[in-house]
């Protein structure tokens, strides 16, 4: 029998495929997962990239026309130059959040969520793929909005390190928050409730269109507990050199929230919370 087997192999019969060694991290799987997430939003660029750019320019035009004559300067710069970084950050926040929520919810509703859970990807690798996919959309949107805004507003870079750090930190934060929300949600109404009652209020009340120095003392105290405030404050400092809060505290808050959300998402995947039932 052994001789017959050897002769069969020599005659060109196919051998069973050898198992592929994955290693500690399945980098090929993570890259494939990340690439799928990026291609998913890139295919509908009109909706995911162009629409946020147009919306931001409309916001800028409305606030410039409504308040341009009343508030000529904020933070020592023209009003439009002051609000531009806040509007870019708001676009990052909304689009990074939308990317992961839509990806998970579509898989849940279409019933193909199992296709994400069956491949040899650990909870850490799943979190990494989804998180980086949403963060990439946030960064792309920021670049598109920034380029478009530069044709109408004079944008200067005061400290590129703060611009890059807070853009990346915000993209990761909202991507992970969207991931956690979508895993928890059972229908789109649940996601809409988080968007309408958490994401939008926190972004609008974080100094996007104003300096918190203009607020009463009690509301200034409330603002420092809003993590979105530190995203916008540090991001704005990177452009115009003006900040309302502590820059070092802002860096620590951004890192702390990102780490906490990462751990929460990883735990949800590892336990199969609302994914395997």
Contacts 24+ apart (CB under 8 A), 186-189: 186/108, 186/274, 188/105
d(CA 265, CA 183): 9
d(CA 63, CA 80): 8
pLDDT classification of 218: cutoffs 50, 70, 90: confident
- Tokens representing 179 are 């991931």
- The answer to the question of residue 8 being in a domain is no
Please give the tally of structural domains in the chain.
Answer: 1
Residue of 251, 234, 252 whose CA lies nearest to 243: 234
pLDDT for 87 beyond 70? yes
The strand pairing partners of 78, in sequence order, are 73
pLDDT in tens, 20-74: 556 677 888 899 999 999 999 999 988 888 999 999 889 888 877 776 556 667 7
Given a contact cutoff of 8 angstroms between Cβ atoms, the answer to whether 137 and 95 are in contact is yes
Containing structural domain, residue 181: 45-271
Mean pLDDT over 127-144 rounds to: 95
Q: How confident is the model at residue 9 (pLDDT cuts 50, 70, 90)?
A: very low
User: 122 is written with which tokens?
Assistant: 């650990």
Residue 7 reports pLDDT greater than 80: no
Domain-embedded: residue 16: no
Task: With beta carbons less than 8 A apart as the criterion, state whether 157 and 239 touch.
Answer: yes
Asked if the structure places residue 214 within a domain, the reply is yes
Tens digit of pLDDT for each residue in 219-267? 888 888 999 999 999 999 999 999 998 999 999 999 999 999 999 999 9
Q: pTM of the prediction?
A: 0.87
Q: Is residue 277 part of a domain?
A: no
**Is there a domain that residue 131 lies in?**
yes
- What pLDDT, on the 0 to 100 scale, is given for residue 134? 95
């Amino acid at each position: 029998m052994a001789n017959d087997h050897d002769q069969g192999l020599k005659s060109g019969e196919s051998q069973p495929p050898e198992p592929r060694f994955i290693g500690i991290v399945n980098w090929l799987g993570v890259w494939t997962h990340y690439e799928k997430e990026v291609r998913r939003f890139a295919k509908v660029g009109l909706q995911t990239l162009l629409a946020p750019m147009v919306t931001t320019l409309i916001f800028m035009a409305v606030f410039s026309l409504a308040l341009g004559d009343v508030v000529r300067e904020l933070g020592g710069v023209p009003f439009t130059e002051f609000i531009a970084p806040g509007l870019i950050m708001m676009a990052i926040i909304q689009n990074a959040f939308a990317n992961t929520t839509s990806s998970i919810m579509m898989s849940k509703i279409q019933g193909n969520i199992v296709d994400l859970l069956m491949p040899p990807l650990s909870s850490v690798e799943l979190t990494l793929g989804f998180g980086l996919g949403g963060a990439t959309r946030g960064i792309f949107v920021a670049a598109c909005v920034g380029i478009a805004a530069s044709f109408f507003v004079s944008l200067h870079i005061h400290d590129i390190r703060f611009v890059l750090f807070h853009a990346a930190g915000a993209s990761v934060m909202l991507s992970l928050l969207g991931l956690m929300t979508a895993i928890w949600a059972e229908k789109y109404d649940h996601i809409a409730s988080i968007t309408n009652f958490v994401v939008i209020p926190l972004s609008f009340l974080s100094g996007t269109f104003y300096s918190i120095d203009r607020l009463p003392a009690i509301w200034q105290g409330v603002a420092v507990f809003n993590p979105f405030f530190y995203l916008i404050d540090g991001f704005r400092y990177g452009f115009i050199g003006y900040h309302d809060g502590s820059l070092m505290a802002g860096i620590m808050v951004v890192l702390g929230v990102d780490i906490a959300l990462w751990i929460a998402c990883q735990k949800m995947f590892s336990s199969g919370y609302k994914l395997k039932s």
